[in-house]
Amino acid sequence: MQSFLVCNLIAIYRIILTAIVTASLLPIIFFLRLLNFKTGKIKCFYMRVVCRVIGIKLIVHGELSKLRPLLIASNHLSYIDVLAYGSLAPIEFVSKKEVSGWPFIGILAKLADTVFIDRSRSKSLESRKKMDHKLNEGNILLFFPEATSNDGTNILPFKSSLFDVVKTNTTATITLQPSVIAFTRINNLPIGNGWKSLFSWYGEIGFTQHLWRFLKLGCTTVEISLLEPIKDGQSMNRKLLKELTEKSVKNGMSDVLSGRKKLN
């Protein structure tokens, strides 16, 4: 009974603290945007603070490519991905347009300067143009080629359509960097497969239900493995780029989950 009470108190404490941080920093960020000031650093600070408040310990393997513009392709676990990646650098995201209207997640996505796209085949050209615009400004853009979240143990088949921006962009040479994100430990103990649903948000699990359960947990270790960028992407068609990226992410996920990536 005491454990149940403590877990609920932890969740309530985290919600209150996150609300205070958000209410303090969001108006500053949006005001600076109105004045056309860059907000990348303060956004990273906000993401790092929220990660700490909700009990996320972030471990990063590898390095973010220094080449710009940079397109990152990552597997997708949950809304935590945006916080984790957003705390590393001023990364902007690609997401389906429906996300913009979701409670909390929509605000988080807009804060991260997300490019909201329509994934229907008829709108694919328009979606690529939105991505081109961000990349041509020299930004770091991250997309999830699975097009949905997974259970944290398997990589779903990648969709090839958005890889076209690497080849078709005629304004800039885009660097494509595969990346992996994984939940690996809870209170420094390895996370078993039976616990994955507490961390990854997928299937029919409701957002509010999942968030409440997650906030009641202790310290969650999230590992990001920034993999070797794919060379000469401009000379490849989108299907080959998709296959190379998917293989790299699958191998990277296997390394992280097996512990072959040494904890810092």
Residue 12 within a domain: no
Mean pLDDT in residue range 172-192: 93
pTM tops 0.75: yes
Q: Does residue 264 have a pLDDT over 60?
A: no
Least confident of 6-10, 38-42, 99-103, 178-182: 99-103
Query: Percent of the chain at pLDDT above 70?
Result: 95
Please give the pLDDT value at position 3.
Answer: 83
Residue 33 within a domain: no
- Chain mean pLDDT for the chain: 89
Number of domains in the chain: 1
- Band the pLDDT of 147: cuts 50, 70, 90: confident
Residue 186 within a domain: yes
Residue 250 within a domain: yes
Mean pLDDT in residue range 108-118: 82
Q: Which domain holds residue 134?
A: 55-258
Residue 164 within a domain: yes
What is the rounded distance in angstroms from the CA atom of residue 94 to the CA atom of residue 240?
21
CB distance 152 to 200 below 8 Å = yes
Please give the pLDDT value at position 150.
Answer: 85
Please give the pLDDT value at position 1.
Answer: 41
Residue 32 within a domain: no
- Tens digit of pLDDT for each residue in 46-87? 999 999 999 999 999 999 999 999 999 999 999 999 999 999
Q: Does residue 31 have a pLDDT over 50?
A: yes
CB distance 68 to 140 below 8 Å = yes
Burial class (CB in 10 A: 0-12, 13-18, 19+), 58: buried
Residue 130 within a domain: yes
- Tens digit of pLDDT for each residue in 200-226? 888 778 889 999 999 999 999 999 999
Please give the pLDDT value at position 92.
Answer: 93
Please give the pLDDT value at position 215.
Answer: 95
Residue 11 within a domain: no
CB distance 136 to 123 below 8 Å = no
CB distance 254 to 182 below 8 Å = no
